[in-house]
Chains A and B, each alone.
Chain A
């Protein structure tokens, strides 16, 4: 069975500081990896995804993530955050060949001025 662990439930950070949101997964099969963001009162929006190829994936809003197979991690990073990045961030995996997404518990990113 597959599972996703987001190690931090909340991450406070000051504006313009770098941030890393951690995600680890477990799976006995190959997986596809995703990061979604949820702004208040909105649905989940895809930030980026890893399917294959380069392990460094760039997404929207200046975010990027690196797939590390040996550490089964897919951490999300941004070099300089803005107040508008305040949101809930979800890491998810999809077992290869299946449609469903398996989500982590989410990390609430709070950017302070």
Chain B
């Protein structure tokens, strides 16, 4: 069964450094998402991406964050100048399509646990 994969599974970085989290969505999916979960808190939506551009983003997704689909298979989340509060589990998800009035299932990857020291 196809699945969303994410690398690395764990990442430790120093405050102020840049990190890139990588995701490989399911191959025939067109919509891509990033969510994060700070330890002990809710899973929060960050951004959705379709047709090589951001379709929606949350208040959390400020100029520090960027997303990219550099090739036909990868979807990346870049965090510039990481802060302590960026420590969280980051989930990538993808869905085949999304129409008004129909919600396609989002398939989630296993997550990348980011620790900023």
Contact = CB atoms under 8 A, between A and B. Distances in A.
Contacts of B55: 99
A99 B108 contact: no
B101 A44 contact: no
Interface stretch (B14-22, B42-50, B79-87): B42-50
Interface of B: 3-4, 31, 33, 35, 41-45, 48, 55-56, 58, 91, 93, 95, 98, 100-103, 105-111
A94 B91 contact: no
A79 interface: no
A94 B103 CA distance: 8
A interface, by DSSP: helix, strand, loop or mixed?
A: loop
A7 interface: no
B49 to A, nearest CB: 10
Q: A interface, how many residues as a size bin?
A: 20 to 34
A99 B111 contact: no
A90 B43 CA distance: 9
Interface string A83-113: 0000000101010111111111110000000
A29 interface: no
Contact of A103 (B31, B42, B111): B42
Contact of A102 (B45, B103, B110, B111): B45
B109 A99 contact: no
A45 B3 CA distance: 10
Interface string A42-59: 111110010100000000
B31 A99 contact: yes
Contact of B41 (A41, A97, A102, A105): A105
A101 B42 contact: no
A80 to B, nearest CB: 26
B42 A106 contact: yes
Nearest to A45: B108
A28 B43 CA distance: 21
A99 B91 contact: no
B71 to A, nearest CB: 22
Nearest to B105: A46
Contacts of B58: 100
